[in-house]
Amino acid sequence: MAAYLIRRLWQMVPTLLGVVLLVFFLFKYFGGDPAEILGGLNATPEQIAAIRQQLGLDQSVWVQLGIYFKGILAFDWGKSWATNEAVSSLFATRLPATLTVMLPILILDALLALPIAMWVAYRRGSLTDRLIMVISTVALSISFLVYIIVGQYLFGFQLGWFPVQGWSDSVWTNLATYVPLPVLLALMVGLAPQTRLYRSFFLDEMGQDYVRTARAKGLTENTVMFKHVLRNAMIPILTNIGLALPGVFVGSFLIEVFFSIPGLGREVLLAVNRSDYPVIQAVTVYLAVITMVINLTVDVLFKLVDPRVVLK
């Protein structure tokens, strides 16, 4: 196990290197001139030159790269160009909001899709199954935007069931008041594809030989489905959830924008619109690290789920 962990951590290094290089060169060669952006529209050439020197942009590419690296390793992400707030504090304040919205969505999505998918797979080919498939296809074709616009208008504005926008400082107020509407809308959109996916997992398992063996032993259909099939189907389902975990940290920027939730996704969007490079770069690198760590954790925990997994 220790050997496996060490090897995986060792393998993360080139990937991280690649991410850093990608971000650095992308912004260096395709992005605008940081000095001009910082200087603003009315800056004089002298002012721009001064900024350039301050940022170290007059030095060679390799030196700049070195400075960039040092910053990352020292966990000094720099400051936002727009607000001058340290990027690390940006993370600390914005991340909780994102998680407060995204984690309920992830959990509820899986918890709801599972029984529906199982039921639909069991009744495969019936009218109900096909009806649900068609409904989910149509539901999927409408952009999430429309759901949010209409949902916000209908439930927030017209019916007044939920506040249209807003956020508070207490986690519980948020969960009770401000989170339900976004979560409801996200579920409406996400449930259909999740159900379809889980359904295909169940169907795959139901066609396996061990199902025939279980039947041959005289087990009831319920036992076969809930014990044998479900346990095997959990493997791809959990894999799927594991893959979705990193996305939870970025959050749904659409939800955050529409509902004015001060989360990480909205922050990145604002940074893009303001050409606030340090924020975008830092968030990208930071999230790449989180993604890799989460993947490693999921892989290690997977041994509990699938006994065939061999961690070499």
Partner 1 sequence: MNAPLAGAGAERSEGVWHAAWRRFKSDRVGLVCAVIVIAFLLLIVVAALGGVAKDWQREVGVANAPPTFLGPRPAEAIGVIEVPKGPNVDLSAVDPLAPRYKEWEERAAKFKTAETVKAETLPMGADRLGRDVLAKAVKGTQISVFVGVMAAIVATAIGTLLGAFAGFFGGKVGDFLEWLYNVFEAIPGILLIFAFAAVLGRGIGTVVLILGLTGWTGLYRQVRAEFIKHRNREYVRAAEAIGASVWSRIFSHILPNVSHVVLVRMSLLVVGFIKAEVILSYLGLGVGIDDVSWGTMLAEAQSELILGHWWQLAAATAFMAVFVTAFSLMADALRDALDPKLRGLE
Partner 2 sequence: MLLRIQDLHVAFRMGKVGGVVQRAEAVKGVSFDIAENRTVALVGESGSGKSVTAMSILNLLPDNAERSGKILWLGRDLLHTPMSELQKLRGREIACVFQDPMTSLNPVFTVGDQLIEPLVKHMGLAKKAALERAEALLVEVGMPEPKRRLAAYPHELSGGQQQRVMIAMALACEPKLLIADEPTTALDVTIQRQILELIAALQRKHRMSVLFISHDLGVVGEIADEVLVMRHGVIREQGPVAQIFTAPKDPYTQALLACRPSLEGNPARLMVIDDHIAQQATAPRAVAQAVAKDPSAPVVLEVRSLAKSFWLKQGLFGKREFKAVQGVDFKLRRGHTLGVVGESGSGKTTMGLTLLRLHEPTHGEVIFDGQDLLRLSASERQVMRRRIQIVFQNPYASLNPRFTIGQTLVEPMAIHQIGASTTEREQRARALLERVGLDGSAFGKYPHEFSGGQRQRIAIARALTLSPEVLVLDEAVSALDVSVQAQVLNLLRDLQDELGLSYVFISHDLAVVRFISDEVLVMKDGIVVEQASTEQILAAPREEYTQRLLAAIPRGYVSTP
**Interacting residues toward partner 2 by CB under 8 A:** 3, 6-7, 208-210, 212-221, 228, 231-232, 235, 306-308, 312
Q: Is there a contact between 189 and 144 (Cβ–Cβ < 8 Å)? A: yes
Residue closer to partner 2, measured from CB, 169 or 209: 209
Q: Does 280 bind partner 1 (CB under 8 A)?
A: yes
Give the position of tokens 């050997």: 3
- Phi first, then psi: give them for residue 79, nearest 5 degrees: -115, 150
Is the Cβ–Cβ distance between 182 and 255 less than 8 Å? yes
Give the one entry of partner 2, partner 1, none that residue 100 binds, where binding means its C-beta sits below a cut-off of 5 to 8 angstroms depending on kind.
none
Q: Would you put residue 193 in left (φ > 0), alpha (ψ -120 to 50) or beta? A: alpha
* Nearer of residues 116 and 129 to partner 1, judged by Cβ: 129
Q: Which listed option, partner 1, partner 2, none, makes contact with residue 221 (CB within 5 to 8 Å by class)?
A: partner 2
* 179 within 8 A of 106, measured Cβ to Cβ: no
* Site membership for partner 1, residue 138 (CB under 8 A): yes
Check residue 275 for interaction with partner 1 (CB under 8 A): yes
Give the shortest CB-46-to-partner 1 separation in angstroms.
26
In the complex with partner 2, the residue whose CB is nearer, 3 or 73, is 3
Burial of 162 (0-12, 13-18, 19+ CB in 10 A): buried
Cβ count within 10 A of residue 118:
20
- Cβ 18 to partner 1 shortest distance, Å: 4
Q: Which does 283 bind (CB under 5 to 8 A by kind): partner 2, partner 1, none?
A: partner 1
Torsion over CA: 260, 263, 266, 272 (sign): positive
Give the nearest distance from C-beta 292 to partner 2 in angstroms.
Answer: 19
Structure tokens at 62: 């390799």
Give the nearest distance from C-beta 311 to partner 2 in angstroms: 12
Among residues 97 and 280, whose Cβ is nearest to partner 1?
A: 280
Minimal distance, residue 262 CB to partner 2, in Å: 43
Tokens found for residue 41: 């529209």
Cβ–Cβ < 8 Å for 163, 180? no
Residue 301 in the binding site for partner 1 (CB under 8 A)? no
Residue 11: CB minimum distance to partner 2, A: 11
Please tell me whether residue 218 adopts helix, strand or coil conformation: coil
Q: How far apart are CA 154 and CA 141, in angstroms?
A: 20
Q: Is 284 in the site for partner 1 (CB under 8 A)?
A: yes
Question: How far apart are CB 203 and partner 2 at their closest, in Å?
Answer: 12
Q: Which residues contact 73 (CB under 8 A, 6 or more apart)?
A: none
Whether residue 177 contacts residue 168, with contact meaning beta carbons closer than 8 Å, is answered with yes
Binding stretches for partner 1 (CB under 8 A)? 14-16, 18-19, 22-23, 26-27, 30-32, 124-125, 129, 137-138, 140-146, 149-150, 153, 157, 246-247, 249-250, 253-254, 257, 265, 268-269, 271-273, 275, 277, 280-281, 283-284, 287-288, 291-292
